[in-house]
Amino acid sequence: MSNHLELLSAEEAARREIPWPDVYFTPGYGSAVEATDGGAWELALWQPGPIVFPYLRRPVDPALGAAGAGRFDIISPYGYAGTWAPPDLPQGEWRAFRSALRAALRQAGAVAEFQRIGGLVPGRDPLLAADPELSGRHYQDTIAIDLARGYDACWEAAESRSRTKTRKARKRGYAWSCRPAQPEDVRPGSSFRALYDGTMRRVEADPYYLFPDLYYERLQAFLGPRLLVLEVRAPDGRIGVSGLAMDWRPLLHLHLVGSETWATSDGAGNLLYDGIIRWGAEQGCFERLHVGGGQSPDDRLFYFKRGFGGEPVPMWLARSVLDPEAYAALLEARAAATGRAVGELEASGYFPAYRA
């Protein structure tokens, strides 16, 4: 079989037998993210590797006029994907893939590329080594807990502050539960949605994290029984903490969590994490539980998650200008449209800078 690159739509990718390394790479998850990020999910597939790179294709703002006509840029779906291939794939295959991908995207009208590169599956190092024009940097860490060692070892690895709060919740009669999510579990007004949305507003999170109904509908339809609802109930039956987890064996992801302040003061938030650690370890099919990171590097949320004894997993960001001439023209158009200097746009921290 000769080496070749294919750019596939979500429908085309879903029909192929592709060894998806994690849920964040799949067209089903990508369809859900389309509801939050806009654009269209596509897949760059290199055979016979395979090398798998999912991305969202985002049209350039029509307000930028002729400079943006027919142009687009690409960005990794929100989450922990990147580019994946089997760890024994020769570096020459990576170089051939990147060369073919850059040419195909530029020919199609792509101007720039932005990748979020999670560290849960291999791919980052050979990817960055294969393409010197793809500039990468460490962004922050997330936390993964080794479930293969068993629950008792996970408990011993947790910091004393986390164990103390978990014991407090148990002593006060809080109960943990887990079940497959049903469509009604993610609809507006459900216990999970009320707790999660209320928490995001209380902590003044970026409005992005108030995901639309369509996001949840598509995620539940795709994952079915592999989308789990977690709940921690007070002795009087009230749900104080609720979350969603995604089962993509051998990885288990704690996806979203919401809580009431009265419950977290009793340690119910700690009990939710302890419960999914125990459940995951007892299933015997999971290697790691990924609990994510903070809203910013080393914030209070990251400190809380670190207390459960996991190890940091680096998350990187990478970017590349695919068509320098088109990129420069779009910067000029954006500067003219906003009354700012090109240098100001470039210094904004946004990439591509014509979206600043």
pLDDT of residue 297: 81
pLDDT of residue 62: 94
pLDDT of residue 240: 98
Rounded to whole angstroms, the Cα distance separating 296 from 139 reads 9
pLDDT of residue 1: 54
Residues 132, 108 contacting (CB under 8 angstroms) = no
Domains of the chain: 4-133+323-355 (3.40.630), 143-313 (3.40.630.30)
What phi and psi, each to the nearest 5 degrees, are found at residue 221? -65, -35
**Tens-digit pLDDT string for the chain (356 aa):** 578 999 999 999 999 999 999 999 999 999 999 999 989 999 999 999 999 999 999 999 999 999 999 999 999 999 999 999 999 999 999 999 999 999 999 999 999 999 999 999 999 999 999 999 999 999 999 999 999 999 999 999 999 999 999 999 999 999 999 999 999 999 999 999 999 999 999 999 999 999 999 999 999 999 999 999 999 999 999 999 999 999 999 999 999 999 999 999 999 999 999 999 999 999 999 999 999 998 888 899 999 999 999 999 999 999 999 999 999 999 999 999 999 999 999 999 999 999 99
In 10 A of CB 198, how many CB atoms?
Answer: 14
Tokens for 16, please give them.
């192929």
Residues 56, 34 contacting (CB under 8 angstroms) = yes
Residues 322, 111 contacting (CB under 8 angstroms) = yes
pLDDT of residue 163: 98
What phi and psi, each to the nearest 5 degrees, are found at residue 112? -150, 160
Q: What is the DSSP letter of 235?
A: T
Q: What is the DSSP letter of 286?
A: -
Burial of 259 (C-beta count, 10 Å sphere; 0-12/13-18/19+): buried
pLDDT of residue 227: 98
